[in-house]
Amino acid sequence: MLKATGIAKSFAGNEILRGISLEVERGELISIIGPSGCGKSTFLRCLNFLEHPDAGEVRVEDVTVASTGSWRRADEVQAHRLRSHVGMVFQSFNLFPHRTVLENVMLAPMQVKRMSETQAKHVACELLEKVGLAAVKNRYPDRLSGGQQQRAAIARALAMKPSVMLYDEPTSALDPELSEEVLSVMRALDAEGMTQLVVTHDMRFARAASDRVLFMEAGQIVESGDPDVMFANPREAGTRRFLRTLL
């Protein structure tokens, strides 16, 4: 349902992504791990063209966007179509501070999908119920805990009915017990069949919840596989080194 082929990206002459290819099946939960600076965030951002890769192609559902190096208006139109299938959640929540939680979740469906206010409210209330925020839906983000803000950000992404959710270190800014609230929402989405790609430093979550783990190093996926197998018995020296530094 998502296929990336040969994604390459340089910044100022430094090759940050060295031709990454990845196929994701519907319903998979994939964790991406690897040392700081290896290109995890850049890769995630290239998957929905928040960053334009220098080369490569991404397909999500029936939308394919190829990067030819020269980005044209037509490519931006395709990228916009692709993004409508992709939900993204960041470490820093990124909620609109001057809107209530409910308004945060209603906004995109009304503005982008031209959904009526009544319908958007209905959808938003359902999603906020699902992530456990029904009781605080009329509060402003700064009145919520970090865990609640991140769950609101997930509900906001889900309101666009994405086929795949991308998370960039969704729990890195959170204390352990608040992380757990967020991770349990992600597990529940997995149980419902949502496709999810998660860049994470939480190895316990990566091991226990993922269908597949990708280890990235220096702009490449150097090892991927079943989490129990990889954590117990990493094949590549780089993976062994990385996992050892975490113990």
Ligand X SMILES: Nc1ncnc2c1ncn2[C@@H]1O[C@H](COP(=O)(O)OP(=O)(O)O)[C@@H](O)[C@H]1O
Cα first-last separation, the chain: 35
Instruction: Give how many residues touch ligand X by CB under 6 A.
Output: 9
Residues 6+ apart with CB under 8 A from 80: none
Q: What is the residue-wise DSSP string for 135-176?
A: GGTTS-GGGS-HHHHHHHHHHHHHTT--SEEEEESTTTTS-H
Q: Min. distance of Cβ 137 from ligand X in angstroms?
A: 32
Considering only 2, 30, 33, 39, the residue that binds ligand X (CB under 6 A) is 39
Structural tokens at position 239:
């993976």
- Closest CB 37 distance from Mg ion, rounded Å: 8
Nearer to ligand X, 38 or 82 (CB): 38
Q: How does strand 195-199 pair with strand 29-33?
A: parallel
**Judged by CB, which is closer to ligand X: 39, or 109?**
39
Q: For residue 192, what are the contacts with CB-CB under 8 A and spacing of at least 6? A: none
Is residue 196 a contact partner of residue 188, using CB atoms and an 8 Å limit?
Answer: no
- Among residues 23, 25, 37, 226, the one that binds ligand X under rule CB under 6 A: 37
Residues in contact with Mg ion by the rule CB under 5 A: 40-41
- Shortest reach from residue 31's CB to ligand X, in Å: 13
CB of 138 to ligand X, least distance (A): 35
Q: Which one of residues 11, 111, 143, 161 is an interface residue with ligand X (CB under 6 A)?
A: 11
Nearer Cβ to Mg ion, position 41 or 210?
41
